[in-house]
Amino acid sequence: MKELLEKYCNILGPSGMEDEIRDAILEDIKGSGCDWSVDAMGNLLVFKKGRKKRNKKVLFSAHMDEVGFMVKHIDENGMIWFGSLGGIDRRVVSGRRVKFCKSGLRGIIASKAIHMQTPEERGKCEPLEEMNIDIGANTREEALKYIKVGDCATFEPDFQPFGEGLVRSKALDDRLGCAVMAEMVNSDLEFDTYFAFNTCEEIGCDGAAEVVYSLRPDIVIALEATTAGDVPGVSKNLCACSVGGGAVISFIDGGTIYDKGLVSLATSVADANGIKWQFKNVVAGGNEARNYQTGASGARVLAISAPSRYIHTAGDVLHFDDIESVRRLAFLINERSFDND
């Protein structure tokens, strides 16, 4: 799992540019005997036959895309002005290294140095539209040899285990879900199961909106990362979950009220198998579960997440024990027929 996660996290795949990560997943699962297809949105849809059939169509879902940046203007000095793809806090951007998807070129996100700021500007975080990416070009013409308007970049890959059982990297949201699902596809399953590796979750869950109409699942389990609040300055009543606290089971978030029967099932399975878990304790965030719940004829939805510090930054942080809890819980839930759940 660690090697697979590192492989997926180091791939560049912002919203709308998921081709490389999709190809990597396909390469890993194509020998499993599964059936697969790619739809018009770029979603990778997989069916894996199990030992038994289900009366209900069960789908596991994870998104392939990550947050990133898109070029919107190149000025006469060769500086690149950009917008964000997905929810990126401007406080974590300045000074970061980025890598462009098509060219592989590296750049630095630049802003006015403190020595050049006015007293009024000091201590304030510039908006993204006032920052730019420096690729070392001196003129617009020089920059255009490598970069065009519309090109995309992500934080530079830098996957590293650190501390006691932790890992930091860009794109852990949601390459961890992709890695768990790839392992599930490559396993011998008890029941027939569908999998959706989605596109464009970070900009509105557009990929899942397509999947719900094409597959029309009855039950959807979204595998995700979610924001951990165990950092200085956050009171316990605002701490959604904690790194090292186990798999996160949501009963509500900013977009979805999750199926109470499925939530109860997940907690019962976890308790019965000694899997560490925690509730998500604040109403915030969201994922593609909302699209499955409200699209087409609707579906019963459940979210199982790994708690992540510094999500949507160059250094998301997860604990491998939490990843294992998510993995085990996903496998065990998929052993249910769901006929009576």
Return the active site residues. 201
Q: In the β-sheet with 58-63, what is the strand arrangement from edge to edge? A: 35-38, 44-48, 193-198, 58-63, 219-227, 300-308, 247-249, 277-279
Q: Return the closest-CA partner of residue 160 out of 325, 337, 317.
A: 317
For the purposes of burial, counting CB atoms within 10 Å of the CB of 27, is it exposed (0-12), middle (13-18) or buried (19 or more)? exposed
CA distances from 291 to 128, 136, 207, 212, 298 (A): 29, 42, 9, 7, 8
Pairing of strands 166-169, 160-162: antiparallel
CA distances from 283 to 176, 237, 274, 278, 279 (A): 23, 11, 27, 15, 11
